[in-house]
Structure 1
């Protein structure tokens, strides 16, 4: 029960932070281009701003998949809900003047959610299952 409260608290904090990032009328293209330029300057070539943004979207949705999977206790439900939230976030961006929704973002967000869900399932939920089997066999 205590863990569930921590997951809910983490999920609320995450949703507030990401919600602000997604809906604030701020163009993040300058930040994305600066990261791409910095990578090129330090000798890590081949990463244009599109790849930086794609990777950032993946990373941003890993915690959502992870937390929803912990909360719902089933990896597919967490991933499906995270993808639905991703689609909703892109739809909301249609009405924000400086933002551009895209299917590519939904793909990256869904991939991040899937990675987070898989990590939660592999690391935490499977550990709990082993613990339950050990407890019931003794």
Structure 2
């Protein structure tokens, strides 16, 4: 199951980050409405577009790092972080070269995406420590008769 989710989530990230156009941020868009909502509350008024984008980048890569680490297992949990860094390098490189007229590669995206993948990998490690794989109580007889 984690592999199927990982494949679907990787496709989702690819669609969001490698489409020729960025998400709509104009007046009346979901993002504009969210920023208006955040600005209307004292506790969240400090969140502007740049901060929201950075938080979204971190948040988008947490599940990726988590799912890769679950797939890799407890001994190689760090692959979630390393794979996330490699994936974001691929994304940013593609944006800088093939999508350069419409998309922009930034060091900030590289850092925030990598941070998200790292957080996801650590969360997966914690989950694998807390909930180790089940073992059957009945030993399996491996002798062929």
Query: Does the Cα contact within 8 Å between 1:35 and 1:49 map onto a contact in 2?
Result: no
Bigger drift between 18-27 and 33-42 goes to 33-42
Q: Does the alignment pair 1:11 with 2:6?
A: yes
How does the TM-score come out when normalised to structure 2?
0.79
Structure 2 gap ranges (5+): 138-145
1:103 and 1:32 mapped to 2: Cα distance? 22
Higher helix share: 1
CA distance in 2, matches of 1:29, 1:53: 13
Total equivalences in the alignment: 127
Q: Is the 1:26–1:99 Cα contact (8 Å) retained in structure 2? A: yes
- How far does residue 125 in structure 1 lie from its aligned partner after superposition? 4.2
Aligned 8 A contact 1:70 1:120 in 2: yes
Counterparts in 2 of 1:51-130, with a 5 A limit? 51-73=51-73, 74-94=76-96, 95-96=98-99, 97-128=101-132
Q: Deviations over 1:12-43 (max 9, x none)?
A: 10011111111111223615444323210234
Give the aligned partner of residue 140 of structure 2.
none
**TM-score normalized by structure 1?**
0.82
* Cα contact 1:35–1:52 (8 A) shared by 2: no
Structure (1 or 2) with the larger CA radius of gyration: 2
RMSD across aligned positions (CA): 1.9
